[in-house]
Amino acid sequence: MWYSKLLILLATAAMLSACGGGNVAVTPVPTTTQTTNPPTSEVVGLNGIWTGDYTDSSGTICTDVKGLTYNGSVRVISEKCNVVLAGTLTVNGSNANVSFNLFDAAGTATGQSAFSGSFTLQSTIDGSLDNGSRLSLRYQPVYENNSSLSLLNAYWGYREPVSGGSGTILTVFNIDSAGVLPSVTTGYGCVYTAAFSILDPDYNLYAVNLTIASCSTQDGVYSGLASLSGDNKIMTILAGNQQNTFFADFDKVAGATK
């Protein structure tokens, strides 16, 4: 089920194979221009797609970090280190600061931590958290690819293990030329509909609105971001609402015809 990547988060601001629970609040990734307090040019300059390393307080280094930043919202995840970081970015000169809420992969809140470090636009964000961990992000130029609904207009698949480890379930769905996913039901009975739109055709981020139904506590409407990588054959979605956040990678299905 897709909601194996659906995290129930305990926080007031917030980015996999488990479901969590709780009465919680998470600020979704913004997908529209802020009108009251627009982000500074430096913050906007740090918009992008990032990969990198996370070192926990015991010294374990995880090199599978993925991150999306958009107008000050930061979402970072490392499955190997079992950590999700979600927060808001501010800058002061060449210093970057993020007030992070921390969670494990099951959606359980593990605390809060303040990140402080340095940044170079379109290059790196590097620093430490006051819980003894470190985070290093590297800018990915794939963010500078154009965005187009025609690139999303394809069949996509998501494969996940069956409970007990007896194989996998593949869910295949298609996004139409208008950026709409009409409806798809996973092997676990959850029903998904979605709509994608262009934020800026010069950059590789898409706004996404996702609705989940028949999925217990995961039901609801989510808003967030999507991006393409791997020669446009991998789609990453990150979305949230006041209770949950959703993160998953989907693969373009080879040989499928529309």
Question: Residues 65, 222: contact at Cβ < 8 Å?
Answer: no
Q: Tell me if 257 is assigned to some domain.
A: no
Q: Tell me if 190 is assigned to some domain.
A: yes
Residue 121 sits in the same domain as residue 213: no
Residue 207 sits in the same domain as residue 84: no
What whole-number distance in Å separates Cα of residue 251 and Cα of residue 237? 11
Residue 77 sits in the same domain as residue 122: yes
What whole-number distance in Å separates Cα of residue 209 and Cα of residue 222? 6
Residue 227 sits in the same domain as residue 153: yes
Residue 167 sits in the same domain as residue 240: yes
Residue 148 sits in the same domain as residue 134: no
Q: What local confidence, expressed as pLDDT, does residue 255 receive?
A: 61
- The gap from C-alpha 165 to its chain's centroid, in whole angstroms, comes to 26
Number of domains, the chain: 2
Residue 126 sits in the same domain as residue 243: no
Residue 134 sits in the same domain as residue 17: yes
User: At which of 113, 143, 173 does a domain end?
Assistant: 143
User: At which of 143, 169, 201 does a domain end?
Assistant: 143
Q: Tell me if 58 is assigned to some domain.
A: yes
Pairing mode, if any, of strands 109-120 and 95-103?
antiparallel
Among 42, 203, 18, 219, which Cα is nearest to 120's?
Answer: 42
Please give the residue range of the domain that contains residue 159: 144-252
Residue 73 sits in the same domain as residue 183: no
User: At which of 92, 116, 143 does a domain end?
Assistant: 143
Residue 116 sits in the same domain as residue 177: no
Q: What local confidence, expressed as pLDDT, does residue 16 receive?
A: 25
The Cα-based distances of 113 to 64, 163, 173, 209, 221 in angstroms read 20, 34, 38, 29, 28
pLDDT tens track, the chain, 258 positions: 443 343 332 222 223 222 222 222 333 444 444 445 789 999 999 999 999 999 999 999 999 999 888 889 888 889 899 988 888 999 999 999 999 888 776 556 688 999 999 999 999 999 999 999 999 999 999 999 999 999 999 999 987 767 666 677 788 999 999 999 999 888 778 899 999 999 999 999 999 999 999 988 778 898 888 999 999 999 998 777 656 667 788 999 976 544
Residue 16 sits in the same domain as residue 121: yes
Q: Tell me if 258 is assigned to some domain.
A: no
Q: What local confidence, expressed as pLDDT, does residue 218 receive?
A: 79
Q: What local confidence, expressed as pLDDT, does residue 169 receive?
A: 76
Residue 107 sits in the same domain as residue 215: no
Q: What local confidence, expressed as pLDDT, does residue 118 receive?
A: 97
Q: What local confidence, expressed as pLDDT, does residue 105 receive?
A: 66
What whole-number distance in Å separates Cα of residue 221 and Cα of residue 211? 4
Q: Tell me if 105 is assigned to some domain.
A: yes
Q: Tell me if 53 is assigned to some domain.
A: yes
Q: What local confidence, expressed as pLDDT, does residue 233 receive?
A: 94
Q: What local confidence, expressed as pLDDT, does residue 252 receive?
A: 94
- The gap from C-alpha 59 to its chain's centroid, in whole angstroms, comes to 25
- The neighbouring-strand residues paired with 208 are 196, 224
Question: Residues 205, 229: contact at Cβ < 8 Å?
Answer: no
Give the phi and the psi of residue 77 in degrees, each rounded to 5. Answer: -140, 140
Q: Tell me if 248 is assigned to some domain.
A: yes
Find the CATH number of the domain harbouring 96: 2.40.128
Q: What local confidence, expressed as pLDDT, does residue 247 receive?
A: 77
